[in-house]
Amino acid sequence: AHLADAPLAISIGRGAALLLGASCSLAIGQIGLRVVGTRGNVRVANQARIGSFAGALRVAYRSGTIAGMLADGLGLLGGTIIFLLYGKHAPEVLLGFGFGGTLLAMFMRVGGGIYTKAADVGADLVGKIEAGLPEDDPRNAAAIADLVGDNVGDFSGMAEDVFESYEVTIVSAMILGLAVMQLDPTQSLKWIVFPLLVRAIGVVSSIIGTYAVSMWPVKDDAFRAMDLSYDLSSIISTVSFFFLAVYYVQDMRLFSATAAGILLAVGFNKYTALFTERETPAVNRIVKSAKTGSATLILSGLAVGYESTVWAALIIVIAILLSVGIYTVTIPAALVSTIIIGSVIVGVILGIYLAIKSKKIENGIFTAVGVVVIGLIISSFEPAPAGHEFIFIMYSIALAGIGMLSHTGNNLAMDAFGPLADNAGGIAEMSKEDFKDPESQRTLATLDSVGNTTKAITKGIAIASAVIAALALFASFIEVTGLEVEGLNIADPLVFVGLLIGGALPFLFSSILLRAVERAAVLIIEEVRKQLRIPGVMEGTVKPDYAIVVRICTNAAQRELITVAMLGILVPIIVGFLIGVRALGGFLAGIILTGQLLAVFMANAGGAWDNAKKQIEDEPSDPENNLGKGSERHHAGVIGDTVGDPLKDTAGPALNPMIKVVNLVSLLAAPLIISVAATGGTMKTVAIIIAVASLLALMVGISFSLREGKDLID
């Protein structure tokens, strides 16, 4: 109905928006890479060299904030420009903007993930276990590729991933906001403008949080400084959202929806740290299992990953249920004041208790605020207009995604902290003469360990945001196709078939990526072994040829891009044209479910293995007593880490953009699929031929990815 108003202008705008979204995503990756990858890490290493822990922390965090603010600014600028140009038609044009950013993010996630982990696995297995070399030792031919890969995969890929989540949540919120606007008697644009204003507030609160990182009295606890700053940004945003909802929209429920998203982000921060941070019970169990070898350590890590998946799902479920309750549950007017007063009393009591128990007053303050916010959310529950509950509920879920990613600056700063600290450690290892002071080495080791935890946390937030964004896009798909929610019945064989195909796709996607890493790692291992046998390399008098390993990693990363793009783009088209729009709805539900669970499992298992290895490495080196570096426990930890690395840094993170690409392609193709099904005849035949040809092309692409990788070295 909307396209009929100005179909050509909107179609051209959507194409231009696609290019704009891809360009913004590319700019974030490139500028961030140049700042973080070539400048920030050197300055962090220098701060550690002169003995300034606070300085190293400040430089690392603020360097990452550059990319975070760039993602915030470009995302908000793009969305605002399109809204100003197209008004109520902006959601339709924004689909192109979101798709452009998402497609490029998937390429960067896939390519960067394969590049970095192929080098990492090869460097660790030969360098650490076989040759006994330290991390990032210049005698290891894979050391340079490993350091470069940390920036390409861990930072640039995440920056573009979070940016496209940022855009996709805006797209879905504005599409659903348009639907809500049409139900509003005043036809007010506030339902569409509100998500943009929320994002603007998030930018300001992220800036305040960034400057607060180095001000907390936490001594050498870098993670706590970042965690407290994130909580501070969350409180500032929550209070601001309250006034925005009350005075601009005059509807407390919009505050509740965005606040639920912030609670989801904070909850994921705390939960991920419990499963991946050093000295936590989960990581300690993995360290303990290293006594009996690699097999038990890997089993212990798998158990931690599976357990963490359950809790991640529960946190997302709670956030979604809150969003549902906002527009379906009735709270009697007499109970509203009781709930608010009760939450204040409980919050104060609980806050005082935690402040006294932990001897940290900020713990009590943040906890008390969180309890009060939950009370405000519950007190705002009020049913939506009869017959329109679904649209309001899904709008609420989309706003939760908006709130969750309102601190993109903080999220990316925490993520960039990992590769920055890792690269700074690599620079120190390659410049040993300048880093003889044990204090500087301890600073870099501490920051590196914290970086592993922050990377795991931001991966968790990226995964959760992908689920919320995909769910909101799914609602947009239902809105665009005109399907009733009841029409997607699991007992319908077509829906069930779609569900099975969607559920299987993340496993096929992960298989292709893991195989690519393994194939390249085998060649790198052989190359590193060969170069270590060259006279003078082990003695440090002859430099290895780093370029060969870089070339292998680059070729391996580029080789898989076409296949994974075909998976994300062609499969929904094949399902839609061959089986129908109901099957496509089931397909989207399946990919959201298994993709999220698989991504969380891989991210947290890999993060736990990584920090377990580092915990063993920090022990005093005593191989005879099976302690520290060089011991059998350390060898088991390195093997666990090399198994987990491709999971947490390649396959797991790449599932996020893949899920959103599939949802966006389905949303874009849905009108055509419905039109073809309704028209029939020649048009239907042509669509089937296109779908079959796409299926054949996909099979050729998958078979190509199965080929041996000897050509990667050329």
pLDDT at position 285 is 92
Residue 485 binned pLDDT confidence (cut-offs 50, 70, 90): low
Residue 361 has, within 13 A of its CA and on its CB side, a CA count of 2
Does the residue 354 lie in any domain?
A: no
Locate tokens 């993170």: which residue? 653
Torsion sign, CA atoms 403, 585, 661, 196? negative
Q: Does 360 fall in a domain?
A: no
Give pLDDT, residue 563: 83
**Region 19-43 average pLDDT:** 80
What is the distance between the alpha carbons of residues 281 and 417, in angstroms, rounded to a whole number? 24
pLDDT of res. 191: 85
DSSP state of 220: T
The dihedral over CA atoms of 472, 478, 481, 486, expressed in degrees to the nearest 10, equals 170
Can you give 169-200 as a three-state secondary structure string?
HHHHHHHHHHHHHHHCCCCCCHHHHHHHHHHH
Amino acid residing at 284:
N
> What local confidence, expressed as pLDDT, does residue 486 receive?
57
Task: Evaluate the CA torsion angle 466, 467, 469, 470 in order and state its sign.
Answer: positive
3-state secondary structure of 608: helix
Q: Specify the higher pLDDT residue, 270 or 368.
A: 368
The pTM assigned to this predicted structure is: 0.84
What are 280-327's pLDDT values in tens digits? Answer: 888 899 999 988 888 999 999 999 999 989 988 888 888 888 888 888
Average pLDDT on 351-364 reads: 83
Per-residue pLDDT reduced to its tens digit, 503-552:
999 999 999 888 888 888 888 888 888 888 888 888 878 888 888 888 88
Identity of the residue numbered 444: L
3-state DSSP call for residue 622?
strand
Tokens of 91: 């959601």
Residues 6+ apart with CB under 8 A from 14: 92, 93, 95, 96
Q: What is the mean pLDDT of residues 685-697?
A: 85
Question: Which residue has tokens 């996709």?
Answer: 168
Average pLDDT of 457-475?
77
Residues 6 or more apart from 562 whose CB is under 8 A from it? 701
Tell me how far apart the alpha carbons of residues 675 and 684 are, in angstroms, rounded to a whole number.
9
Query: Tell me, what's the pLDDT at 345?
Result: 92
For the chain, give me the number of helices (H) and strands (E)? 23, 0
Separation of alpha carbons 518 and 592, rounded Å: 26
What pLDDT, on the 0 to 100 scale, is given for residue 482? 64
- Of 196, 23, 16, the C-alpha closest to 103 is 23
Whether 704 is covered by a domain: the verdict is: yes
Task: Select from 161, 26, 185, 182 the least CA-distant residue to 91.
Answer: 182
**Mean pLDDT for the stretch of residues 428-438:** 73
Q: Residue 438: pLDDT above 80?
A: no
Q: Is residue 75 part of a domain?
A: yes
* The pLDDT of residue 120: 82
51: left (phi over 0), alpha (psi -120 to 50) or beta: left
The winner for highest mean pLDDT among 62-71, 167-176, 330-339, 471-480 is 330-339
- Sorted by sequence, the CB contacts under 8 Å of residue 603 that are 6+ apart come out as 456, 459, 460, 463, 647, 648, 652, 653
Beta bridge partners of 220: none
* Structure token digits, residue 187: 């036809």
Distance CA 70, CA 288 (A): 42
Looking at the domain assignment, is residue 5 inside a domain?
no
Whether residue 5 has pLDDT greater than 70: no
Q: How far apart are CA 451 and CA 435, in angstroms?
A: 20
pLDDT at 1 over 50: no
The residue segments making up the domain with residue 394 are 16-331+380-480+494-713
Q: How far apart are CA 407 and CA 412, in angstroms?
A: 9
Residue 365 lies in a domain: no
Q: Tens digits of per-residue pLDDT, 154-193?
A: 677 777 777 777 777 777 787 788 888 888 777 677 888 8
Residue 427 has pLDDT above 70, yes or no: yes
pLDDT, tens digit (0-9, with 9 covering 90-100), for 250-260: 888 999 999 98
Inform me whether the pLDDT recorded for 617 exceeds 80: yes
Determine the Cα–Cα distance for residues 588 and 585; give it in Å rounded to an integer: 5
pLDDT at 215: 80
Whether 531 contacts 537, CB under 8 Å: yes
Give yes or no for a contact between 608 and 304, defined as CB atoms under 8 angstroms apart.
yes
347: in domain:
no
The contacts of residue 35 (CB under 8 Å, 6+ apart) are 63, 66, 67
CA 336, CA 80: separation in Å to the nearest integer?
36
Reported as a pLDDT band with limits 50, 70 and 90, residue 2 is: very low
Residue 487 within any structural domain of the chain: no
Dig out the tokens for 335 from the structure: 């109970």
Tell me the three state secondary structure of residue 542: coil
| Long-range CB pairs of 628-635, under 8 A, 24+ apart, other chains included | 630/132, 632/293, 633/287, 633/290, 633/291, 634/290, 635/129, 635/294
**Structural domain count, the chain:** 1
- Check the CA dihedral 301-307-312-315 and report its sign: negative
3-class secondary structure for 559-599?
HCHHHHHHHHHHHHHHHHHHCCHHHHHHHHHHHHHHHHHHH
pLDDT band at 594 (very low <50, low <70, confident <90, very high): very high
Average pLDDT, the chain: 82
Q: Residue 187: its pLDDT value, please?
A: 65
